[in-house]
Structure 1
Amino acid sequence: MDTANLTAFLAVAETASFSRAAELLHLTQPAISKRIASLEQQLNCRLFDRIGRHVGLTEAGLALQPRALQITHALADTRRALSNLSQEVQGRVSMATSHHIGLHRLPPILREFTQTYPDVALDIQFLDSEIAYEKVLHGDIELAVITLAPAFEAPIIAERIWNDPLDFVVAPDHPLAHSSPLTLSRLCEYPAVFPGANTFTRGIVSQLFSQAGLQPHISMSTNYMETIKMMVSIGLAWSVLPRTMVDWQVKALTLHDASLERQLGVIWHSGRTLSNAGHAFIRLLKDNAKGSGLLLSPAQTIV
């Protein structure tokens, strides 16, 4: 069975389109069609139903998909393991990072990495932390630098890199900006804009209020911290932002009964062989954080 045909099959299954699969693999659409036809002939069954412009997996296609993923992942892992024997740092690193970390934490690290290892191609996807986690879990990418969940289970390995203090913030002219004393219950009297319901950060903030027996008045939510900052700065609501984002546009509040912090770090799959380039990137992350005094002790590594 030709692995190129399996790769084409997985691309069509993922995109539900022969043309988009062709773009994804940098091939022509006839080449994709030829590979699918060849695979269907080898397996003696139809893998896709083509009804008009709609492309969907048949029962046989649904059965093949997880097995094709296992085969392609195993082959890629074998190639990495053999390539690692050379000890050279080269090739490609597929990784994901959240928009916030990509903007506020990673630029100097990425710059140093590309200067130190010019033979490595970085394939970076900017994703919500929760989506990046799923991508690593399913073997679609090698590693991810994200907001960490409070706990991880095998097969994911997570290493904390940065402490990321969170501040309650309002617009400088918001009624809460000059109110004292401030408490969680006082915040609940005003509208809030929160991170998306399924985000790790939302879980951290919601847990704080839940433990106090309070329910904040959430009028809006979004996954993008820059959007939250904008909505806070024009006075629409209060919110929580990483301290690294607090400037003249918003005012940080001091609460006597609450403090918040999240952890940012790197995750990878324990069952996947990290490339030499992947190992080098993780080492650089740790060295950078250690140099800034932000790296946690090894005993606090999440496994």
Structure 2
Amino acid sequence: MELRHLTYFEAVARLGGFTRAAESLHVAQSAVSAQVRALEAELGAELFTRTTRRVALTEAGELFLARCRRVLEELDGARRDQADLAAVLSGRVVLAATAVVGAFDLPGALSRFHARYPGVLLSLRSGLIAALLAELDAGTVDLVIGPVHADLPNRFATHRIAREQVVLIAPPGHRLAHGGPLAVTELRDESFVCLPAGSGLRAILDDAARTAGFEPRVPFETHTPASIRELVAAGLGVALVARTVAASPGPAVSVRQLQPAPQHPDIAVMHHRDHRLSAAARACRRQLIELE
């Protein structure tokens, strides 16, 4: 049995006649008829009833058609896979990530992707989530890894890859430097270090403080989680940060759990629903998701 047997048979069944099938396939009608007869001979069953006016599937033809289409669909899928692979091998991916990615091992993920697809030109940008989503809107990045805040517009598709927690960091020797879980109400008189208004971390701080009945004082604003830690270590205030920021290498700070702990958004890989991802970007996204 040859592939063209299946192709010709499916075309006759779909188009309802040998003439139409031949025109669709750009071959002579006699070639279509000959291939279908050869297929019937091999199967030992008539697949069509033929009259001068119409061609119709027999019961055997109906049964065979379902399997035939599954085979052709699988072959089409295999062709697409090969085309995608060729595109991946020579593609380009621009990935952007916030400083906070939870327990997700981004360097390891990028290393594994590069080892699997060494021909892909892979680049990484970093920044705050609002700026990175603007780049995703503009089409200047393919994928973004970062926190999924509640107000994320629906035009961004997400897939969670890690969870995160919020903790308090304080300077060593601070009155809050040691102890068990800490209530947010105990932070009422503290000065905070945080990201600017409009950032996700600032929203977490504002919401937690207001729930506890006070407005947070933020005399020190900075633009990266790492610099928050540096300012706290220098004794300029306390801060709410992601646990991974508190645990990362850097100046010494004391870490306290909060009770109840403010909710931190899940970390996800995001892409724009209206922008078609390249084959290379789709392969990168698959690998990031598989590592969840």
**What's the TM-score bracket when you normalise by the shorter of the two chains?**
0.5 to 0.7
Paired position in structure 2 for 1:284: 287
Give the length in aligned residue pairs.
207
The 8 Å contact of residues 193 and 228 in structure 2, kept in 1 or not, is answered as yes
CA contact (8 A) 1:166 1:262 kept: no
CA pair 130-85 structure 1, distance change in 2 beyond 3 A: farther
Q: Secondary structure at the match of 1:140?
A: coil
The amino acid of 1:193's aligned partner reads V
Q: CA deviation at 1:179?
A: 6.5
1:168 equivalent in alignment to 2:165: no
- Give the C-alpha shift of residue 237 in structure 1: 0.7
Q: Does 1:189 align with 2:189?
A: yes
Aligned to 1:251: 254
Identity between Structure 1 and Structure 2 (%): 25
How big is the alpha-carbon RMSD for the aligned residues of Structure 1 and Structure 2?
2.6
Question: Which residue pairs with 2:139 in the alignment?
Answer: 139
**Alignment match, 1:267:** 270
Q: Deviations over 1:175-222 (max 9, x none)?
A: 122477842222121111012212122212222222333211211111
- Residues 147 and 201 of structure 1 are in contact (CA less than 8 Å); yes or no, is this contact kept in structure 2? no
1:113 aligns with 2:116: no
TM superposition shift of 1:102: 11
Q: Counterpart of 1:151 in 2: which secondary structure?
A: coil
Label 1:278 to 1:209 Cα distance change in 2 as closer, same or farther (>3 A).
same
Larger Rg: 2
Structure 2 contact 194–202 (Cα < 8 Å) conserved: yes
2:156 and 2:165 map into 1 onto residues whose CA distance is: 24
Report the CA distance shift for 1:175/1:194 in structure 2 as closer, same or farther (over 3 A).
same
Mapped contact 2:232–2:239 kept (Cα < 8 A):
yes
How far the C-alpha of 1:275 sits from its partner, in A, is 1.2
Q: Which structure 2 residue ranges, 5 or more long, are not aligned?
A: 1-79
AA aligned to 1:177 is: A
Q: Give CA deviations for 1:4-60 in whole Å, capped at 9, x if unaligned.
A: xxxxxxxxxxxxxxxxxxxxxxxxxxxxxxxxxxxxxxxxxxxxxxxxxxxxxxxxx
User: How far apart are the structure 2 equivalents of 1:104 and 1:157?
Assistant: 19
Q: Which residue of 2 aligns with 1:128?
A: 128
Change (3 A) 1:140 1:254: closer
Residues 219-263 of structure 1 show CA distances to partners (whole Å, capped at 9, x for unaligned) of: 111121111111112221110122123348111123334443232
Matching residue of 1:71:
none
Q: CA deviation at 1:288?
A: 1.4
CA distance 1:288–1:232, shift in 2 (3 Å) = same
SS at match of 1:146: strand
Describe the shift of the 1:113–1:179 C-alpha distance in structure 2 as closer, same or farther (beyond 3 A): closer
**What letter matches 2:194 in structure 1?**
F
Distance in 2, Cα, partners of 1:276 & 1:133: 21
Contact (CA 8 Å) 2:102, 2:267: kept in 1 or not?
A: no
What is the 5 A alignment of 1:1-303?
86-88=83-85, 89-90=88-89, 91-101=91-101, 105-178=105-178, 182-247=182-247, 249-289=252-292
Gaps in structure 1 of 5+ consecutive residues: 1-82, 290-303
CA distance in 2 between partners of 1:103 and 1:252 (Å): 17
| Separation in structure 1 between the aligned mates of residue 131 and residue 150 of structure 2, nearest angstrom | 16
Q: Deviations over 1:124-180 (max 9, x none)?
A: 222221111011122222221122222333322122211111211112201122477
For 1:106 and 1:164, the matched residues in 2 are separated by: 15
Contact 2:136-2:271 within 8 A present in 1 as well: yes
- The TM-score normalised by the length of structure 2 is 0.64
Instruction: Tell me: CA distance 1:243–1:103, structure 2 relative to 1, closer, same or farther (3 Å).
Output: closer
The match for 1:16 is none
Match of 2:176, SS state, is helix
Determine the C-alpha separation between the residues in 1 that align with 2:103 and 2:157. Answer: 24
Give the partner amino acid of 2:216: P
